[in-house]
Amino acid sequence: MFEEGIYNPDYVKRLFNRMSNSYERMNYITSFGFSIRWRTQFLKPLEESNDEIKVIDLLTGMGETWGAVKRRFPNSTFTALDFSYEMLKYAGHRNQSKFNKEITLIQQDILSNQLPSNHFDIVICAFGLKTFNVEQITVLANETKRILKEGGKFSFIEISKPSNKILKLLYGFYLAQVIPIFGKLLLGNPEEYRMLWRYTDKFENAKIAQRKFDAVGLKTEFISYFFGCATGFYGKKIEG
């Protein structure tokens, strides 16, 4: 496979379709259990609101972030987007069992979508940035800007390579060598979960993505979680 092939949307979609039945558990394991906490923390820069605002969760996966979102924006009109139909199948079960089907699920590729412009008050995305190359992140930045209302806010977070050399070595070994063993136990094939480290290794951290969002005219702030094991950025679409 050519290196850029791992960013081909069809390849990424097939990968997450295959991992869908175990991805939530593996996300928890790969983050040492911090993923639940991080899904709450990355929303904190967004002011809590009881207003009837419009929120969209990009690359929603199985809907792991929904509980934290609904606690912060209880009266929001909530949309969740993903292009993996298998992930959305599990998300649909969660929507029915825990959210009374209040969440609108959309199966689309955010890089090529039919979402309305100037529509959402909040755009969020947890643990999806690493599957984009630099050019795709630029498209993502432009799409985020397009679908946000003026003054609208956003927050993104992604698993990252820590800056501390010892922690980076340990974390890299854990993701590259240990996690595939869990993948073999859960799926019978370690290769899918070995790809998570490959994406993380190439992604490194959210600084390049932050700069791409700045470059399209969005105002951003960088943030690091637990010594850089996760990084992200948040900000707003500047009015006028």
DSSP 74-136: TT-EEEEEES-HHHHHHHHHHHHHHSTT-SEEEE-BTTB--PPTT-EEEEEEES-GGGS-HHH
pTM summary value: 0.91
The whole-number pLDDT of residue 1 equals 40
Nearest CA among 205, 213, 202 for reference residue 235:
213
Percent above pLDDT 70 for the chain = 85
Is residue 20 within 8 Å of residue 84, measured between CB atoms? Answer: yes
159-193 residue pLDDT tens: 898 877 777 777 767 666 766 666 666 555 667 77
The whole-number pLDDT of residue 120 equals 98
pLDDT (mean) for 124-130: 96
The pLDDT confidence band at residue 2, using thresholds 50, 70 and 90, is very low
100-117 residue pLDDT tens: 999 999 999 999 999 999
- Residue-averaged pLDDT of the chain: 89
In DSSP terms, 105 is beta-bridged to 80
Does the domain made of 3-237 have the CATH classification 3.40.190.10? Answer: no
In 3-state terms the chain splits into helix, strand, coil percentages (rounded to 5) of: 50, 20, 30
Burial readout 76-107 (b: 16 or more C-beta within 10 A, e: otherwise): bebbbbbbbebbbebbbebbeeebeeebebbe
77-91 residue pLDDT tens: 999 999 999 999 999
4-46 residue pLDDT tens: 699 999 999 998 898 887 777 666 666 666 778 999 999 999 9
- Cβ count near 136 (within 10 Å): 17
